Structure 1
Amino acid sequence: MEKKISISNNQVILNYNKAYPKDRQEFLASKTFQVYIQYFISSQKEKNVDLYKYLTQDGKYDSQEAAAEFTHFLRLLSVFKMDEIRNDYALDEKHLLDTIEEIYKSWRDLQRFAVMSSENIDGFGVNTLVARDSAVNSLFLRTYRLFEERAMHRRNVVYRQAQAGTNACFSVYRHKNLWDPQYEALMNIPVIDTVMLRTPMILHPKSSKREGVINETDTNPITYFAGDPEEWFCFPCKVGKLLCFVYFNTKYIASALSMANLFELASREESEQKPDLICIYGNPDDRNETQFYHDEANDIWVGCISDHPRVEYFGYLKKMCLTLHNLAMMQRGWLPIHGAFVNITLNDGRRKGLMLMGDSGAGKSESIEALKAVGHDIIRDIEVVFDDMGTIHVEDGVPYGQGTEIGAFVRLDDLDPGTPYRDMDRAVIMGPENPNARMVVPASPYRVVVHNHTIDLFAYANNYTDEYGLKQRPIEDVKETCKQGKRMALGTTQEVGISTTYFANPFGPMQKQELCEPLIDKMFQCMKDNGVFVGEIYTHLGFDRANRKGLDIAAKELLEFIKK
């Protein structure tokens, strides 16, 4: 990004390579600050007529002229006291104080990000990025307080160390290796190598629900990629053991950077390799589609999410990455599981690996949360392998589970009431004002996610049957139940009521059933041969989501299984 500052879509991106204020005077005299003040003045024309008249001096100035005049006044105010300044803006102290407060509030209402290059800075490291961004945060906060106190003619007595600078910052470099000429359009897009999130990071996306399905296309999306490299970035990450390059439109920078809490950021060395997966997020192709394509010549699975207001929801990006992963892993003989997998260790050392499978809203995460509650006095450790998507594969005749994500993207309503507050210091919180409010929070180190974990229990999460507890069932029956993928949809997607999805997984298995079918047979037979408990867990969530009786009974029976 060559611009010093970019303001649009209720977000601002600062380019620290082009504009980095070292002190207050440099900041106030900068073109960047004047651009923001002009943006603020223009926004007040409809929002606050009184402030707009004050800033334009009753129409004496247009927004650009007013921005220049007002920033000049602020430069004076940073040096002199109010009664020492002869300026029209100083004559109306009430509107001045209101303006200072609104400028600060309007700034903090934006989603704020900063970027810098790591290529041409000697000894660049995380301390360079963090130190620069922290200095800007401090500068903005001190400058606001100075203006506020001078307008009030007194000092503050309560100080709040708010995030006055950015919500997140990141550093980038340029690709050096081109794996195939047809992907040349992506080569000039800067690649992220370091991310800093200021948590809790609270975002307000336009959408709070994922709609539609991801369809296969016979045209490689790279052929209709329409992005300007100056308006795009690449987030290279590890989805399970696969390397995925997420190329995203800066309109969706908030969702893209939130992936740092969900997927392992790939190293610069890894990012110079050919990727297994490519995701294009926010392509201005006028298609309003979410599609995938298999580039067989390069063995790359390519996904494309069209630029559209509805895709400003983290679920689109997350599920596209997982769909591409699942398709690639099925091709390699691994079976994707839409569910949750945890290793529970009791105080006496007994340990069990529990894998629960089910589609969105079936009660996978809720069952684990209920288990934590009922076993809090005897459970020593809960190791999360995956919270949404993982795999089963066979090595030496033994079935093992692995995960895909280092974090969890969970509905706040699905959690124990205290959990969001306990974890919020590391969380990205999305749309807390919405019914489908979510948070993205780290869950496990990458080394845990991609380790082989023994499966002791495999249960289908059933939220639609009026039964309670945990029940072991014939393996063929459970296999057919899993294939049918029935659930009571609870409005977390566009579906409502009883629905069925092949293998409870619309993220790969549904699209490639002929590839998935033999893997299901193989893995279930392997679990049977190895004595894995296979059955159903009844969460009862399809009947009364507010009543947790079904979850509590299921959790107690899970705990009894672990104690055996």
Structure 2
Amino acid sequence: MEKKISISNTQVILNYNKAYPKDRQELLASKTLKVFLQYFISLQKEKNQDIYRYLTQDGKYDSETATEEFSHFLRLLSVFQLDEIRNDYALDENGLLDTIEEFYKSWRQLQRFAFMSSETRDGFGVNTLVAMDSSLNNLFLRTYRLFEERAMHRRNVVYRQVQAGTNACFSVHHHRNLWDPQYEKLMDIPVIDTVMLRTPMILHPKSSKREGVINEIHENPMNYFAGDSEDWFCFPCRVGKLLCFVYFNSKYIASALSMANLFELATREESEGKPDLICIYGNPDDRNETQFYHDEANDIWIGCISDHPRVEYFGYLKKMCLTLHNLAMMNRGWLPIHGAFVNITLHDGRKKGIMLMGDSGAGKSESIEALKAAGKDLIRDIEVVFDDMGTIHIEDGVPYGQGTEIGAFIRLDDLDPGTPYRDMDRSVIMGPENPNARMVVPASPYRVVVHNHKIDLFAYANNYTNEFGLKQLPIEEVKETCKLGKRMALGTTQEVGISTTYFANPFGPMQKQELCEPLIDKMFQCMKDNGIFVGEIYTHLGFDRSSREGLDVAAKELLDFIMK
């Protein structure tokens, strides 16, 4: 992205390599300020006629001239007191103060991001990125306060250290190794190697729900890939043990950078290798599709999400990456599990690995939260292996669980009231004004996620049966229940009411049932042979989501199992 500043889609992206103001005078004389000021004037024409008339001096100036005149006035105001300036803008103190406040507010209402190259600076390190971004944040704050105080003719008495600069920044480099000529289009797209999120980061995406399914195609999306280095970036990450390159259209930069809270960012050295997975996010192909393709020659699974307003929802990106992971892992003989897996350690040292399986809304995460509350005086530690997607594989005749994500993408309504506030300092919060409000919060170190974890209990999360508690059942019965994947859909996706999804997992197993079926038989037989508790947990959420009775009973019986 060679532009100094890009404003579109209620977001702004700053290129620190092209424009980085070192002080106030440089900021006020910059093209960056003028670009935003012209954008601001165009907003006020529709939004606030009083401010628009003030800036254009009742039609004396067009927007371009008003941009030049007002930016010149701001340079004067940075040096002189208001009553020392002979300028039309200085005559209306109330108009000036309203304009300064709205100008600052409009800037902060944008989703603001910045990037720089890690290749063009000697001795570049994370401290370089953090220091530069923090310095700019302070410059914006001090400049706003100066103008506000000069317009008021007094100092402030309350100061709020808000995020006046960016919401997030990152550094980039370029690929050096081409793994196959058909992927040459990707080589010039900058690759992210460091990310800094200013948390809590609050985003307001246009969409709050995922719709449709991810379909297999038999044409490599590279044949119709329309991205370029001007408006695209690559987020290289680890999905489980697999290397995934997420190439994203910059209009979806907010969702893409939120991945830093969910998947382990790959190192610069790792990103020079051939990826196992490639995800293309926001391809302007006019297809309005979410699709995947297997490049068998290179053994790369490729997902493509079309550019469309509906995909400005983090769930599209997350689930595409997980679908690609699941398809690749099934090819390697590992069984994907849509669920949650935690290791519970009691104060007396007893430890159990608890794996719950179920589709969206079944009550997996809610059951874990209820267990935390029920065992608050008994539980010493809860180690999260996965909160949404993981795998079961067999080593030396023993089934083990592993995870895919270092974080969790959680519905705020699924949590105890205090939980979002407790974790807010590290979170990305999405659409808090929407019914399906979510947060992305770190959960476990990567080393924990990809470690082999022993399974002591495997239970299907049943939210549709009018039963309570936890029940051990014959292995064949549970296996058939899991394959049916029945649930009461609660509107977290496009579905509502009773639905069934093969193996409760529309992210790989549903698309490749012939590949998944023998893995299910193999893993369930192995759990039986190892004497693992296999059954169902009844969350009751399909009957009354506001009531926690079902969750509380289930949590108590889970705790009883752990204490045995």
TM-score grouping bracket, smaller chain normalisation: over 0.9
Provide the residue aligned with 2:140 in structure 1: 140
Supply the distance in 2 between the matched residues of 1:43 and 1:241 (Cα, whole angstroms).
47
Correspondence 1:31 to 2:31? yes
Correspondence 1:294 to 2:294? yes
Aligned length: 564
Asked if structure 1 preserves the Cα contact closer than 8 Å seen for 2:24 and 2:143, the reply is yes
Supply the distance in 1 between the matched residues of 2:170 and 2:505 (Cα, whole angstroms).
34
Supply the distance in 1 between the matched residues of 2:149 and 2:120 (Cα, whole angstroms).
40
CA offsets 1:442-496 (integer angstroms, 9 cap, x no match): 0000000000000000000000000000000000000000000000000000000
Supply the distance in 1 between the matched residues of 2:260 and 2:310 (Cα, whole angstroms).
22
Give the residue type in structure 2 aligned to 1:7: I
CA offsets 1:282-320 (integer angstroms, 9 cap, x no match): 000000000000000000000000000000000000000
Supply the distance in 1 between the matched residues of 2:128 and 2:512 (Cα, whole angstroms).
46
Alignment of 1:456-471 (within 5 A): 456-471=456-471
Supply the distance in 1 between the matched residues of 2:42 and 2:398 (Cα, whole angstroms).
65
Asked if structure 1 preserves the Cα contact closer than 8 Å seen for 2:93 and 2:151, the reply is yes
Alignment of 1:203-222 (within 5 A): 203-222=203-222
Once the 2 structures are TM-superposed, how far is the Cα of residue 437 of structure 1 from its aligned partner? 0.1
Provide the residue aligned with 2:2 in structure 1: 2
Supply the distance in 2 between the matched residues of 1:102 and 1:120 (Cα, whole angstroms).
36
Provide the residue aligned with 1:423 in structure 2: 423
Provide the residue aligned with 2:158 in structure 1: 158
CA offsets 1:87-143 (integer angstroms, 9 cap, x no match): 000001111000000000000000000000000111100000000000000000000
Alignment of 1:21-420 (within 5 A): 21-420=21-420
Supply the distance in 2 between the matched residues of 1:187 and 1:68 (Cα, whole angstroms).
40
Once the 2 structures are TM-superposed, how far is the Cα of residue 228 of structure 1 from its aligned partner? 2.4
Supply the distance in 2 between the matched residues of 1:61 and 1:236 (Cα, whole angstroms).
48
Once the 2 structures are TM-superposed, how far is the Cα of residue 50 of structure 1 from its aligned partner? 1.0
Supply the distance in 1 between the matched residues of 2:558 and 2:226 (Cα, whole angstroms).
51
Gaps of 5+ in 2: none
**Residue 380 of structure 1 aligns to a residue in which SS?**
strand
Q: Which runs of structure 1 show a deviation greater than 4 angstroms over 4 or more consecutive aligned residues?
A: none
**Residue 480 of structure 1 aligns to a residue in which SS?**
helix
**Residue 230 of structure 1 aligns to a residue in which SS?**
coil
Once the 2 structures are TM-superposed, how far is the Cα of residue 59 of structure 1 from its aligned partner? 1.3
Provide the residue aligned with 1:523 in structure 2: 523
Once the 2 structures are TM-superposed, how far is the Cα of residue 58 of structure 1 from its aligned partner? 1.2
Name the TM-score, length of structure 2 as normaliser.
Answer: 1.00
**Residue 178 of structure 1 aligns to a residue in which SS?**
coil
Give the residue type in structure 1 aligned to 2:488: M
Name the TM-score, length of structure 1 as normaliser.
Answer: 1.00
Provide the residue aligned with 2:562 in structure 1: 562
**Residue 292 of structure 1 aligns to a residue in which SS?**
strand
Once the 2 structures are TM-superposed, how far is the Cα of residue 440 of structure 1 from its aligned partner? 0.1
Correspondence 1:544 to 2:544? yes
Supply the distance in 2 between the matched residues of 1:120 and 1:430 (Cα, whole angstroms).
34
Asked if structure 1 preserves the Cα contact closer than 8 Å seen for 2:188 and 2:228, the reply is no
Asked if structure 1 preserves the Cα contact closer than 8 Å seen for 2:185 and 2:228, the reply is no
Once the 2 structures are TM-superposed, how far is the Cα of residue 156 of structure 1 from its aligned partner? 0.2
Provide the residue aligned with 2:504 in structure 1: 504
CA offsets 1:146-172 (integer angstroms, 9 cap, x no match): 000000000000000000000000000
Asked if structure 1 preserves the Cα contact closer than 8 Å seen for 2:458 and 2:535, the reply is yes
**Residue 199 of structure 1 aligns to a residue in which SS?**
coil
Supply the distance in 1 between the matched residues of 2:34 and 2:70 (Cα, whole angstroms).
9
Supply the distance in 2 between the matched residues of 1:371 and 1:305 (Cα, whole angstroms).
37
Supply the distance in 2 between the matched residues of 1:12 and 1:378 (Cα, whole angstroms).
48
Asked if structure 1 preserves the Cα contact closer than 8 Å seen for 2:248 and 2:282, the reply is yes
Gaps of 5+ in 1: none
Supply the distance in 2 between the matched residues of 1:473 and 1:347 (Cα, whole angstroms).
29
Give the residue type in structure 1 aligned to 2:504: A
- Percent identical pairs in the alignment equals 88
Supply the distance in 2 between the matched residues of 1:385 and 1:213 (Cα, whole angstroms).
26
CA offsets 1:320-361 (integer angstroms, 9 cap, x no match): 000000000000000000000000000000000000000000
Give the residue type in structure 2 aligned to 1:345: T
Supply the distance in 1 between the matched residues of 2:227 and 2:67 (Cα, whole angstroms).
32
Supply the distance in 2 between the matched residues of 1:481 and 1:32 (Cα, whole angstroms).
59
**Residue 230 of structure 2 aligns to a residue in which SS?**
helix
